[in-house]
Amino acid sequence: MNRKVFVFIILVTLIFVFLLSMSFGSKKYSLYEIIKFLISPKEGDELLLKIRFPRVISSFLVGASLSIAGLLSQTLFLNPLADPFLFGISSGANFFVTISLFFGWDLIFKFSLSFFSFLGALFATFIILLISRIKGKITPLNLLLAGIALSYLFSSISSFLTIWGRDVLNRSVFWTLSGFSTINMEKISILLIILIPSIIFSLLFNVQFDAFSLGEDEAISLGVNVKLLKFVLLFLIALLSGISVYVSGIIGFIGLMVPNLLRSLFGLNHLKLIPLSIILGGLLLMTSDLIGRFILFPTEIPVSIITSFLGAPFFLYLLFKKRSF
């Protein structure tokens, strides 16, 4: 497919899905009402301002975050199958949430649950770094194996606690299934505060990321500070994954699908892949959320079920396909 045509199609689809997402729900809005709201939000419907718009925009922003996190994961691990979930970050977030539910820490302040999920994401990243440092050298393979092991450990302890504490079970299952139904502008503000500098920072390192993708030895010979770059990659991945979990809980496969789809068309060029990941990742998650709201309306299917439904077959496809350009 022609690349310019592809970009045109995803931009048009983005606008279409955005308008449809804003329109569809318990109360339906016309195109005129939506455009009127976008021009002067404060004069618009309260439902649009406080629920519909935050939901749609946050699904786009979280999709963008997860896509970039996935792209950077694949760069760090030199592996197209790498994904933030392989770090165990989401499991770490879920683990901290489960602990907080178990001990009742979620009642400490208003956003305790989200805060603990964010803390868990950072904690998981720190543990992975420590584990891989034990051998005295960080390699992509060490990090990947550490993340997988950590993911299993966090998941098993979380499962044990949810079985042990009945109340924990009821509340954590809903958390695990995730979504945008409880989103608000405060969460979106925090998301933007993290996302925008992360994007800028990633763009500034675009050439170094490309060079790193040739392998460490060649990257060093091209003047890349490989140790620093690995930390930058790891930190950005943890930040973007962590903030996504904080805002919307565990959502899988976006970080796997989007970079692979884009690389097959545009090749390895982070200057192009980063902005395209924002658009396509945002579009994919926004669409998934819309499908989740629509398919069994008025019952809502959590967005992570939709992304897993799309992502799992894609993951299997990746395992068997040849790389193409």
Q: What residues does 296 pair with on adjacent strands?
A: 299
Exactly one of 112, 181, 206, 308 binds another protein (CB under 8 A); which one?
Answer: 206
Query: Which CB atom, from 236 or from 303, has the smaller least distance to another protein?
Result: 236
Sign of CA dihedral 304, 309, 312, 315: negative
Spatial distance between the Cα atoms of 34 and 29, rounded to a whole number of angstroms: 7
Q: Is 214 in the site for another protein (CB under 8 A)?
A: yes
Query: Which CB atom, from 90 or from 260, has the smaller least distance to another protein?
Result: 260
Residue 89 CA neighbour count, 13 Å, CB half: 36
Mask: binding to another protein, 131-160, rule CB under 8 A, as x and -? ------------------------------
Quote the least distance from Cβ 240 to another protein, whole Å: 20
What residues between 221 and 260 interact with another protein by CB under 8 A?
221-225
What residues between 16 and 35 interact with another protein by CB under 8 A?
none
Q: Is 197 in the site for another protein (CB under 8 A)?
A: no
Q: Is 318 in the site for another protein (CB under 8 A)?
A: no
Query: Which CB atom, from 96 or from 209, has the smaller least distance to another protein?
Result: 209
Quote the least distance from Cβ 147 to another protein, whole Å: 18
Quote the least distance from Cβ 320 to another protein, whole Å: 17
Residue 61 CA neighbour count, 13 Å, CB half: 26
Query: Which CB atom, from 203 or from 296, has the smaller least distance to another protein?
Result: 203
Q: Which two tokens stand for residue 44?
A: 């618009």
Quote the least distance from Cβ 76 to another protein, whole Å: 11
Three-state SS at 192: helix
CA angle, residues 121, 286, 303, in degrees to nearest 5 = 60
Quote the least distance from Cβ 203 to another protein, whole Å: 8
Spatial distance between the Cα atoms of 190 and 65, rounded to a whole number of angstroms: 13
Q: Is 81 in the site for another protein (CB under 8 A)?
A: no
Spatial distance between the Cα atoms of 294 and 21, rounded to a whole number of angstroms: 10
Quote the least distance from Cβ 208 to another protein, whole Å: 7
Total residues belonging to the chain: 325
Q: Is 73 in the site for another protein (CB under 8 A)?
A: no
Decide: 95 and 158 in contact? Cβ < 8 Å. yes
Spatial distance between the Cα atoms of 191 and 58, rounded to a whole number of angstroms: 8
Spatial distance between the Cα atoms of 157 and 124, rounded to a whole number of angstroms: 14
Three-state SS at 28: coil
Q: Is 216 in the site for another protein (CB under 8 A)?
A: yes
Exactly one of 14, 49, 80, 149 binds another protein (CB under 8 A); which one?
Answer: 80
Q: Is the backbone peptide bond immediately before 298 cis, with ω within 30 degrees of 0?
A: yes
Q: Which two tokens stand for residue 287?
A: 């669409």
Q: Is 46 in the site for another protein (CB under 8 A)?
A: no
What amino acid is encoded at 111 in this protein? F
Quote the least distance from Cβ 135 to another protein, whole Å: 12
Q: Which of 140, 125, 295, 274 is nearest to 202 (CA)?
A: 274
What residues between 266 and 305 interact with another protein by CB under 8 A?
267-269, 271
Quote the least distance from Cβ 322 to another protein, whole Å: 10
Q: What residues does 299 pair with on adjacent strands?
A: 296
Quote the least distance from Cβ 222 to another protein, whole Å: 4
Chain residues binding another protein by CB under 8 A are: 74, 78-80, 203-204, 206-208, 210-211, 213-218, 220-225, 263-264, 267-269, 271, 323-325
